């Protein structure tokens, strides 16, 4: 459990893994900032659900690929809740259509890079002064399975490049900010898709997933519980880590094999 009331911002948290993380941190006693782009109805419903737990919650619209939106979110957090102690960079544009790099449009390249790398760096830059002033902070980045190995990922060139760049940034920032009581880690979810992103482990523990070495499908709780642990008061010795939460599945190799 988090011992003192902290304020947690989770980007892209109206649905999916971000939603599960927001609920988990609210259960730990954190005040929550829900961030969304288009899912206003879902964000408001989640905000009301979190407030019913006895903590404060804001639902703020903002696109992580736009710096002015990031400024709005962080400035509002200061005005309404006093700042940001925990920053979960969950949002990140992902193009599901498989296509080669030369098939991307310039605006697609810019959007994916801004949303997955530059926007993350800019948000971290905005929240670091708040964390440094308190000598405490938790920053979580999101990657993909085995991102730390910097493998090639056919049909995902731009997304993979952004996330692999984020690996190096995670490790660098963790060293720079460690003296200020700030930890920086990266979570790399496995192939968690569809409704499973908002399920609990108990919902699927008896299901069989033939592609998963673990044997069951992954769910949102698998990710949220790790993030909650990293945000605990005494998790300060865990920093600069790239953590695969995948049940042993290698998503890149699985996708490559499916192309053969």
Average pLDDT in the chain: 90
pLDDT over 80 at 260, yes or no = no
Residue 199 lies in a domain: yes
Pairing, β 242-245 against β 57-61? unpaired
Q: How many domains does the chain have?
A: 1
Residue 1 lies in a domain: no
Residue 85 lies in a domain: yes
For residue 254, the model assigns a pLDDT of 53
Residue 218 lies in a domain: yes
Residue 161 lies in a domain: yes
CATH code of the domain containing 30:
3.40.50.720
pLDDT over 80 at 143, yes or no = yes
- List, as one string, the DSSP characters of 21-67: HHHHHHHTT-EEEEEESS-HHHHHHHHHHHHTTTS-EEEEE--TT-H
Q: Which of 74, 91, 76 is nearest to 131 (CA)?
A: 74
Residue 38 lies in a domain: yes
**Whether the model pTM is above 0.85:** yes
pLDDT tens-digit series, residues 39-55: 999 999 999 999 999 99
Give Cβ neighbours of residue 41 (< 8 Å, ≥ 6 apart).
none
- Average pLDDT in the 154-164 region? 88
Lowest mean pLDDT among 30-39, 81-90, 139-148, 211-220: 211-220
Residue 58 lies in a domain: yes
Note down the domain range covering 91.
Answer: 7-259
Strand order in the sheet with 86-89: 57-61, 31-36, 7-10, 86-89, 137-142, 182-189, 242-245
Residue 78 lies in a domain: yes
């Amino acid at each position: 459990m988090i011992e003192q009331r902290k304020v947690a911002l989770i980007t892209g948290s109206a649905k999916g893994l971000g939603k599960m993380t927001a609920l988990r941190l609210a259960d730990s006693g954190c005040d929550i900032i829900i961030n969304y782009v288009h899912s206003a109805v879902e964000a408001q419903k989640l905000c009301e659900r979190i407030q019913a737990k006895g903590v404060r919650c804001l639902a703020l619209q903002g696109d992580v690929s736009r710096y002015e939106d990031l400024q709005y979110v962080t400035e509002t957090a200061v005005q309404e809740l006093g700042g940001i102690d925990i920053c979960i960079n969950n949002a990140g544009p992902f193009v599901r259509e498989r296509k080669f790099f030369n098939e991307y449009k310039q605006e697609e390249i810019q959007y994916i890079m801004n949303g997955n790398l530059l926007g993350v760096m800019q948000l971290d830059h905005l929240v670091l002064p708040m964390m440094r002033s308190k000598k405490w902070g938790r920053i979580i980045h999101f990657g993909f399975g085995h991102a730390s190995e910097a493998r090639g990922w056919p049909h995902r060139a731009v997304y993979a490049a952004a996330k692999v760049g984020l690996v190096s940034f995670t490790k660098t920032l963790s060293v720079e900010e460690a003296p200020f009581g700030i930890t920086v880690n990266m979570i790399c979810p496995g192939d968690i898709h569809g409704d499973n992103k908002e399920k609990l482990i108990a919902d699927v523990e008896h299901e069989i997933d033939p592609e998963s070495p673990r044997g069951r499908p992954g769910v949102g709780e698998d990710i949220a519980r790790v993030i909650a642990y990293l945000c605990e008061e005494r998790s300060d010795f865990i920093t600069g880590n790239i953590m695969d939460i995948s049940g042993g599945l290698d998503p890149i190799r699985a996708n490559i094999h499916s192309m053969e």
